[in-house]
Amino acid sequence: MIPPHSQDPCPQRSPSLRSSGNLRICPSNHSLRKLALALLTAATLNLPALAQSPKPSQSDVQAVYLYNFAKFVRWPAVTPPSPIDICIAGQKIYVDTLAKTVAGEQIDTRPLTVRAVERPEDEAGCSILFIGVSVKDRLDALLAATAGKPIVTVSDIPGFLDRGGMIQFLLIDNRVRFSVNLDPVNRSQITLSSELLKVAVTVNGKPSGGTR
């Protein structure tokens, strides 16, 4: 296991270091700063305050994470470029939230699309698959259908990484964070940015051609 922030890009001695919430932003590392800024709101959200304020819900925060994850994943090249398809199994509220978030957006000339999946066979063509807790009884079947394929699997189901998932949302001190399991990544055809791993709470496994 790689401990969180084991390769700290912002040493304390740096005079340019800024600290905000759980993410430390180092201006000398443009890519990491970009990721940190993109996830800053999600990482520092105080969930108990949601009921008393118009702040985003937990599902809103996780939807933003899913959108930003797509910026730090490399999929196999296809010609012509196909859409980055974010699929949702369960918790269909994510579909509407994400559809609004990614409307008109592109990553490397690839448009982003969002759709719900009901069955493992619906996962064909997915770039990212979020598996909600409402379908936890079908988790093993959904993961089996993605095994070895270029699909980033994400969930907030407890024990998701132990069961073969790639990215698990966590609630730590009332903040949405995430951990990564590199073993299924290494068996897939995708590449995760090392910069994404630097802001994960924990990273299980070792890179084996599955990070960049």
Q: What is the pTM of this model?
A: 0.75
Q: Taking 80 as the threshold, does the pLDDT of residue 193 lie above it?
A: yes
CA distances from 165 to 3, 49, 51, 99, 129 (A): 18, 30, 31, 24, 10
Distance between CA atoms of residues 169 and 10, nearest Å: 24
Instruction: Kindly report the CATH number that applies to the domain delimited by 58-204.
Output: 3.40.50.2300
Q: Encode pLDDT of 82-94 as tens digits.
A: 899 999 998 777 7
Q: What is the pLDDT of residue 28?
A: 34
Domain range list for the chain: 58-204
